[in-house]
Amino acid sequence: MDEYTISKVWPSDSATLAKVDALLEREGIQRDANLDYTCVIQDDDMNVIATGSCFGNTLRCLAVDDRYQGEGLMNKLITHLMDVQYERGNTHLFVYTKVGSAKFFCDLGFKEIARVDGMLVFLENRANGFSSYLRGLEATKHPGTAGAVILNANPFTLGHRHLVEVAAAAVDTLHVFVVSEDASLVPFAVRKKLVCEGVADLNNVVVHDSGPYIISSATFPSYFLKDDAKVNEGHARLDITVFERIAAALGITRRFVGEEPTSQVTGIYNRVMLEELPRVGIEVTVVPRLAIDGAPVSASTVRRALQRGDLERVRALVPESTYRYFASADAAPVIERIRTAGNVAHY
């Protein structure tokens, strides 16, 4: 094992990446389109005999050639990738792996969070990470029926408000999860603030951070980065499988989603949700989009109005609390970010 060295693969190194793809394919793995670090171990003839990658705070696309199993190459890869992550400041790590490899990661101290279709296992390197998150949620559990809404709210619009109102009227307690991943044009701290202000008058609504467990770069990177439909669906299934455990902790039996006529990735997510959640006793309700002047209200429309400086159009599409923020000096850096972003629509 000591004779092997690990090399970084640059995105421009198409020859080595082709060998990475070939090894992954033999192991039944498709290389993710969105990776920010890839490394390999090669033999004397420059054949790739082991590979691993990172994206955000996740380890993925891990494989060792069958002929080199038992030589400690996977352990060497994982140690290297964890060092890369720690150098980046990422200490809470997640890994996707095949079911057959899960025990290896558990032996390294990773803890299983969820399994998908008996083929994929999702783990983290904290023994009490997800369980601690669930305990925090359980403290907000109330008697009676419970529902859930998950919002990115980039930013919070009258459409989001309509969805929350409809859902809150149908259950005793509505749990609203705000996507914590800071990959949107409107920062998480602002998005959560606007959600909290926008639902403050609804007494049965509880607002939560989603943490790294709901629509995050760990569970559902396709929400933030363009991927093909097959990859989107795989990520959606993982995210929904994790949500099932969250729902169990809170006694959630209904999930409410907005109708999605334009976003491909959200449309796929909603379709998978409609297939999977009823199997575990969670009813999915698709709420028709709120329309103003014959057009559905969307955060993309609000971002486009902000991009061109049309605050009057923004005011027509958002709650007063959201408008007050964007009309204030505090919003200047966010508006500038939106103005220089190019395409502000969600694919």
* Tens digit of each residue's pLDDT (9 = 90 or more) over 274-309: 999 999 999 999 999 999 989 999 999 999 999 999
How far apart are the C-alpha atoms of 63 and 346, rounded to whole Å?
A: 33
Task: State mean pLDDT over 161-170.
Answer: 98
Highest mean pLDDT among 8-22, 175-189, 230-244: 8-22
Task: Choose among 56, 93, 66: nearest CA to 78.
Answer: 93
Per-residue pLDDT band for 67 (boundaries 50, 70, 90) equals very high
Highest mean pLDDT among 162-171, 183-192, 230-239, 257-266: 162-171
* Cα 252 to Cα 100, 115, 204, 247, 303, distances in angstroms: 32, 20, 14, 5, 32
What pLDDT does 198 receive? Answer: 98
How far apart are the C-alpha atoms of 124 and 7, rounded to whole Å?
A: 25
Which tokens is 49 given? 């005999």
Task: Choose among 64, 76, 53, 55: nearest CA to 27.
Answer: 64
Which tokens is 266 given? 């959200």
Q: Return the DSSP state at 329.
A: G
Highest mean pLDDT among 51-60, 102-111, 169-178: 169-178
- Is pLDDT at 242 greater than 50 in this prediction? yes
Domains of the chain as residue ranges with CATH: 6-126 (3.40.630.30), 133-288 (3.40.50.620)
Task: State mean pLDDT over 95-110.
Answer: 85
**pLDDT tens profile 314-325:** 999 999 999 999
What pLDDT does 196 receive? Answer: 98
pTM of the predicted structure, to 2 decimals: 0.86
Task: State mean pLDDT over 67-71.
Answer: 89
Per-residue pLDDT band for 205 (boundaries 50, 70, 90) equals very high
What pLDDT does 262 receive? Answer: 58
3-class state of residue 46 by DSSP? coil
